[in-house]
Every structure is written in C-alpha cells, then in structure tokens.
Amino acid sequence: EVQLVQSGAEVKEPGESLKISCKGSGYSFSNYWIGWVRQMPGKGLEWMGIIYPGDSDTRYSPSFQGLVTISADKSISSAYLQWSSLKASDTAMYYCARRRSSSRSSEWFDAWGQGTLVTVSS
Amino acid sequence: QSVLTQPPSVSGAPGQRVTISCTGSSSNIGAGFDVNWYQQLPGTAPKILIYDNNSRPSGVPDRFSGSKSGTSASLAITGLQTEDEADYYCQSYDSSLSGSVFGGGTKLTVL
C-alpha cells in the first residue's frame, strides 16, 4: 500500500526556522515526484512546488520561490519542506502528495500525506 | 484569486444530480492539459476523485464523472448522498507558471 506519512504538528514563533518531513513507503520513492501543497485556515489548496527524489530536481511555484526550500533524501525515502524564517502568514496545513502522469499533458496527485499543521504565533 | 475558477458552493437534495464547473485559460485547460478532481472531506487530506479529465481511480463510485471542453471542465455527481458533502477542487497544469494549479474549491451541501 502506498503511504505518505508526515511529521507532527508544529508551533513556532515568528523568525524561527522549521523543516517538516514526508516519508514514503509501499513504492519506489526515488521514481515519483513529490509535491507540496499549502492550505491556509478555511482556504483552498495551493501548489507550492515539487521534487524528484531520484536526482533532487526541484520546481517551485512563483508564489513560493525563495520563501521555502524543498529537498529530499532518497536513502530514507523522505521529502522535506523548510523555512528559514517563519511568519505568522505561514500558519497553515501542509500536505505532501505523490505525482502521477500518463502523458505530457497529464499530472495528478494520487496519494497524499495526512498533513502537517504549522502554527506560527508569538 | 485562483488560476482555475470554481463556484464557491453548490447544493442538492439526496438522489439528485449536481455539477461543479472549473474554468481555466489558454495556458492550462485550454492548452490541452488534463483536469483532475479531488474530494476533501472535513478534517481530512484531499483524495483523488477523477484524473485525466474522466478517469476514475479504483474504489471511486461511478456516480462521479468528469468532462472537459475548451477552457473548462466539469465534475458531475449523480445520486447525491449525504456522505458526498465535502469540498471539491479541480487541478491542472499551467504552462506559464510551469506547475500545477488548483481551483478555489467548491463546497457541496447535500440538503
């Protein structure tokens, strides 16, 4: 069974750094892109970026470029999302998801982590 | 403002049929990129409902169907059930943003 298990909820103060994780199992982790999706309280889904664990090729949404860093360690089947200096506006649920594709015009996310709630407050 | 536009809410009585629209542009749906739909039940992670415009993953009832035409797509749900009450999101790829984009989401209420 394909599973993505994310690290637990975090409560941080503004200006602190943070790295959350997403561990895959039940499939060849290196061979599938992993995306990150933000959901702010009461709001919709926002695509942040994506990484290919096999070679760490990474793409970012223009809205998140420079604000977060996405990384992966294929040796332990894990992907990461990190911030160097959190803001209150980073308060949200963050999901990782496995990307699938059937053609050059196709991209969807077939397996999702349970989400990591990040709360940034002084 | 989401790149893909969905109605904020739709509603229907049990047993009825509802549709949710998703309108894009020439850089995403209109460019030929496929549309996918997700269901998010309260307090849970999104779940893939329809991929590649009209394909259902195993386990998704055939009450759910998708279609695409031009710069728009639709999700249809027939035989509405109370457990269908959830938020629904469309998603596609956008060539000008070089990444995936989501619709703003539609809250389905089963009256």
Q: Which residues pair with A19 in a beta bridge?
A: A82
Mean pLDDT of A21-47: 97
Listed residue (B67, B40, B94) closest to A97, CA to CA: B40
Q: Are A83 and A18 in contact (CB under 8 A)?
A: yes
Query: What is the pLDDT at residue A96?
Result: 98
Query: Of B46, B57, B92, which has the smallest distance from its Cβ to A112's Cβ?
Result: B46
pLDDT digits (tens, 9 = 90+) for B39-69: 999 999 999 999 999 999 999 999 999 999 9
Burial class (CB in 10 A: 0-12, 13-18, 19+), A53: buried
B105 with A105: Cβ contact below 8 A: no
Distance from CA of A115 to the nearest CA of B (A): 7
SS3 B97: coil
Chain A residues inside the 8 Å CB shell of B33:
105-107
Chain B residues inside the 8 Å CB shell of A50:
99-100
User: B34-63: string of b/e by CB count within 10 Å (b at 16+)?
Assistant: bbbbbbbeeeebbbbbbbbbebbeeebeee
Listed residue (B65, B88, B104) closest to B11, CA to CA: B88
pLDDT digits (tens, 9 = 90+) for A87-121: 999 999 999 999 999 988 899 999 999 999 999 99
Torsion region of B26: left, alpha or beta (phi above 0 gives left; psi -120 to 50 gives alpha): alpha
Tokens of A81: 């999302």
Query: What is the pLDDT at residue A77?
Result: 98
Query: What is the pLDDT at residue B1?
Result: 83
